[in-house]
A = this chain, B = another copy of it.
Amino acid sequence: MISPKLQKIWYGGDYNPDQWSEEIWDEDMRLMQLAHVDAVSVPVFSWTHLQPREDQYCFDWLDRVLDKLAAAGVYTCLATSTAAQPAWMSRRFADVLRTDITGVQRKHGGRTNFCPNSPNYRHYSRELASRLAQRYANHPTLVAWHIANEYGSHCYCERCAKAFRDWLKVRYGSLDALNAAWNMAFWSHTLTAWEEIDTPTLNGERNNMPYLLDYERFQTESVLACYRNEYDAIKQYTPEVLITTNLMGHFKPLNYYAWAPYLDVISWDSYPTPNQAPSEVAFTHELMRGLRDGQPFMLLEQTPSQVNWMPRNQLRRPGVMRLLSYQAVAHGADTVMFFQFRRARGGPEKMHGSIVDHAGHEHTRVFREVQALGAELQQLGDALVDGRQQASVALLFDWENWWAIDLSVGPSVDLDYIASCKAYYAAFWQANIPVDVVRPDADLSSYQMVVAPMLYMLRPGVAANLSEFVARGGTLVVGSFSGIVDEHDLATQDGYPGELRPVLGIWVEEHDPLLEGQQVPVRSEPWGRLTGNYQASVMCDLLHLEGAQGRAWYDGEFYAGMPAITENAWGKGRALYVAAEMDARLLSDLLLTLCDQHDIAPCLAAPAGVEVTQRSKEGVQVTMLLNHGKQEAVVPLDAEYRDLLSGEPVQGNLKLAPCDVRILQRL
């Protein structure tokens, strides 16, 4: 439970009172109560208001805001406001503004526009966090801390260069070790002094993958250090209050696996595109939930209606906001919060939807939908809070692997790690089989099946982890283009897939990238659900069996007859290799065959488009049904349930209108 003060699914959003005159604040309180808002993030961007000068802090206005919130029964996720430093700070201290990838220092403006290794930024952000914590430690509204906002920008300044060299000295110990790890003999790039290492700006070295990978790791840690700097300051005053910062799903610049240990609770901002497949949204919830071993997370931002930064910011259709809110809950969210409460009059996000629109009143479609959902969440109480999902299937995801695939020059620009992960995930999602998304070195002992799409980089211990999982009886499915490099992007010398070669019982000799739009037929003899003809795309691995048996074969090109799917018995388990990106039908037929063989069954049989998930706590299981389809769906229930929203018992054929959601507890 995030806070004992608020034992329900939190409901609210970002609140920016300092953009408004104080007269409006009372109206805000009225509207919050009307909308059943009980939690707000405040003050997300107010550093200049809180500290208008180097030597002056002003908290009185915030005192008044928090007191009003307290009076209105609204709790606060207290934000530290450090994502955008004051203009006076950018101007006063040369080290504060970051240098972008072009090598040019930014001017003041925007947000996350600071160098993460800036001493002055570190000093003043810690100071502000510390003062806020000291002042509001015992404020009745305080239920959580929210540090900065959507961290992410990298810096390439001279100061970062120096810090990077220090980081490398610790990591490698000697230049010789670094030269070896980075394969610097290539193009005679061998370093003879640490000072020869600079930042990888666009006018610098952009073709040295190990170097670029280490720079990403270094920046991830540098930005994290800014977060931890505030975290440590706050913990001194409020050791019991959970601290977070809002993440952004599969956001590439930061390896969130490095961050997760320092977030007391994961929170994230979910902004799917219009018409995005619901399985993709679900995948990202799994990824975020997986950061802290399945612990429930906070949906800290979503839009009630539309965003402003897409090319065409379509309105969420009636019912869609509710559907997507419950989808987050269905996958582990214990809060439903919006960006933002009241729509800004000016600035880049002026066109971003909000609970309260520019018109300023409650008589809008959006407000009414928000209000109705708020009432439902009150009705639900703590029925779902702290509930956990249980999965027999794990899908591996790794930021560093993603970076490395995208940095690789060749073999194909069509290799898309995220798309591949989502394709494997979708096969399970469509069958309503729960999946956890976990890191490759996670403890896999609770799973029966593990899927590793495009695991190009095998970091130390990963192959052993997977091999042991198989040896103990698990089923491992490895995607194409796996086992190519180590953590420094150095290719294996043991034949692809390198350390996975024994467990998979195959040797991949060559990779054949397909031309644009090209597909290669694949055929399978009947095996479980797998049979007949399929299509491979993107790139075909050409492999030889070394103990494994073929389950499907290429049926075209000069490698017709070569295996396209293999299965290898290993210890008490088995390991399969899928040698190309495959069409959705093949993935579904293959993965559900494996599920059948493990007796891994859906939460509940449901027609296509109806998502079913389960969360349970203290032995009580709550089942959620969400109709993502455009038509009414009928779900035959397997028992008698109580509908937690209506309070009524339900059984037999349950009808769900499009966008409708049911939350059922088995009687």
Residues of A at the B interface (CB closer than 8 Å) are 16, 18-19, 45-49, 52-53, 81, 84, 86-88, 90-91, 100, 102-111, 182-183, 185-193, 195-196, 198, 201, 203-210, 274-275, 305-315, 317-318, 343-352, 357-360, 364-366, 408-414, 485, 488-496, 507, 509-516, 558
Contact = CB atoms under 8 A, between A and B. Distances in A.
B414 A312 contact: yes
Given A84-B188, A314-B515, A359-B509, A105 B412 contact: no
Contacts of A106: 203-204
Contact of A196 (B19, B108, B203): B108
Contact of A84 (B189, B203, B411, B514): B189
Contacts of A312: 411-414, 513-516
13 contacts: A45-B187, A46-B188, A52-B192, A84-B188, A87-B189, A91-B195, A100-B203, A109-B204, A110-B205, A315-B513, A350-B489, A358-B491, A359-B495
Given A19-B183, A489-B346, A509-B365, A192 B515 contact: no
A413 B346 contact: no
B109 A510 contact: no
Given A81-B188, A410-B309, A492-B358, A208 B347 contact: yes
A306 B412 CA distance: 11
A413 B411 CA distance: 31
Nearest to A109: B205
B345 A183 contact: yes
Given A88-B196, A210-B346, 4 more contacts: A103-B104, A107-B198, A312-B413, A359-B493
Given A19-B183, A306-B411, A359-B495, A107 B203 contact: yes
A88 B52 CA distance: 47
A559 to B, nearest CB: 9
Contacts of A507: 359
B192 A87 contact: yes
A413 B311 contact: yes
Contacts of A360: 493
Contacts of A48: 188-190, 192
Question: Would you list the 5 A-B pairs with minimal beta carbon distance, nearest first?
Answer: A109-B205, A308-B410, A183-B346, A351-B410, A107-B204
A244 to B, nearest CB: 20
A204 B109 CA distance: 6
Nearest to A201: B107
Contacts of A357: 509-510
A305 B495 CA distance: 17
Contact of A183 (B110, B347, B408, B414): B347
Given A46-B188, A185-B49, A313-B412, A209 B86 contact: no
Contact of A348 (B182, B209, B364, B493): B209
Nearest to A320: B558
Max chain B Cβ within 10 angstroms of own Cβ: one of A81, A84, A410, A494: A410
Given A87-B190, A495-B359, A558-B318, A411 B205 contact: no
Contacts of A19: 183, 185-186
A89 to B, nearest CB: 10
A411 B109 contact: no
A153 to B, nearest CB: 13
A185 B206 CA distance: 38
A55 to B, nearest CB: 12
A193 to B, nearest CB: 7
A617 to B, nearest CB: 37
Contacts of A111: 187
Given A88-B192, A88-B193, A413-B311, A110 B513 contact: no
A182 B347 CA distance: 8
Contact of A345 (B409, B491, B516): B491
Nearest to A346: B183
Given A344-B186, A346-B182, A411 B351 contact: yes
Contacts of A193: 87-88, 91
A662 to B, nearest CB: 22
B108 A205 contact: yes
A187 B350 contact: no
A15 B128 CA distance: 59
